[in-house]
Amino acid sequence: MTQAGNLFLEHCVKMIRHLQNTQDALAELRNDQRGRLVIGVLPSDLDYRLTPLLVNFHTRFPKVQLKVISSIY
């Protein structure tokens, strides 16, 4: 490959890498869901049925603060 071809290839590789990094950064911004979720439940619902759902939610949305209030009222 010529010197010009090598230079062109080098710049193309950098441009593609920059494009991929930009796309990754934009995807992170779109998926960066944060906030606070408060739910009220009956004590009996905190057994095996609800706990896995809460764990799954926290795994999918780690930046969302989850508060569970258990009450019979």
**Is residue 52 within 8 Å of 23, Cβ to Cβ?**
no
- Among 14-18, 42-46, 64-68, which is the least confidently predicted range? 42-46
Residues 45 and 73 placed together within one structural domain of the fold? yes
Whole-prediction pTM: 0.52
pLDDT confidence of residue 29: 66
- DSSP annotation string for 9-40: HHHHHHHHHHHHHHHHHHHHHHT---EEEEEE
| Average pLDDT value for residue range 54-59 | 87
Residue ranges making up the domain that contains 27: 1-32
pLDDT confidence of residue 33: 76
The answer to whether residue 45 scores a pLDDT higher than 90 is no
Residues 51 and 68 placed together within one structural domain of the fold? yes
Residues 5 and 24 placed together within one structural domain of the fold? yes
pLDDT confidence of residue 3: 94
Residues 49 and 70 placed together within one structural domain of the fold? yes
User: 48 or 55: which carries more pLDDT confidence?
Assistant: 55
Residue 47 CA to residue 10 CA, distance in Å, equals 58
Residues 38 and 70 placed together within one structural domain of the fold? yes
